[in-house]
A and B are shown apart, each in its own frame.
Chain A
Amino acid sequence: MITLTVLLFARAKELMDRDAVSVAVPSPATVGDLRTHLAAAFPPLAVLLPRCVIAVNHEFAEDSHGLNPADEIALIPPVSGG
């Protein structure tokens, strides 16, 4: 198992009332694995998650992207800047 920390923003941050969550996932882990474990560990995020993108080291990542504990991981709800 590895522990991944995921930064939260906007509605995700409000739903969890915190800036980041940590979740344990079996190693090796992909972005897709992270999604599954996040939804299970944090039910308030489950509805929002399918509409979010996962960013890894400031880049949008596909579900097949591999993860390690040193990565900066963020949950990106649909953006609405401008």
Chain B
Amino acid sequence: MTEGGAAELARVVEALLFLSPDPVPVGDLIDACEVGEVQIRNALDVLAEDLAPGRRGLVLREVAGGFVLATEPAAEHAARRLLARPKTPPLTAAQAETLAIVAYLQPVSRPEIARIRGVSSESAVQTLGERGLIEEAGRSRFGAVIYRTTELFERLFGLGSLEDLPDVSAFDPTPEDAAELRERLLRAGEQRAAP
């Protein structure tokens, strides 16, 4: 395909992404445009270049398994004024922990979440569900509802897919930290045992 062809296809792709309410997978773009994958990838490259940060009011993002247009961060303030859309509240610590457990262990049941957090996590689970970040994914063998993250979760957290989550072992404490914690636990127990 010629250079001009890629630019032209990039325009069509931009229009498709503008119209589509959800991120569009590459396969769907190929079908819709009736071209090959190479052409679509080229067109996406052209579009990504045209919409590179700082060039236009829009940027191209790859999230939730597809491509989507979004406004650039510089426009956020004016956009919230225009649409009277309040800033979404940040996640509470309880929500963030619960979401992390669901994201890494999915599908995961509520008792399992409660076991890891040490507290019943009903309200965090419910709020995350209401915010559209997690959803029910059936029931476990024991009848407990199990949860998984949603496409919206990937979109709002800028993840191309769940594969893009950082490796959970990155959050494990260092062996030294673990050893120190163990030491303190034992010491606390000893103090308690000898009043």
Are the chains A and B members of one assembly? no
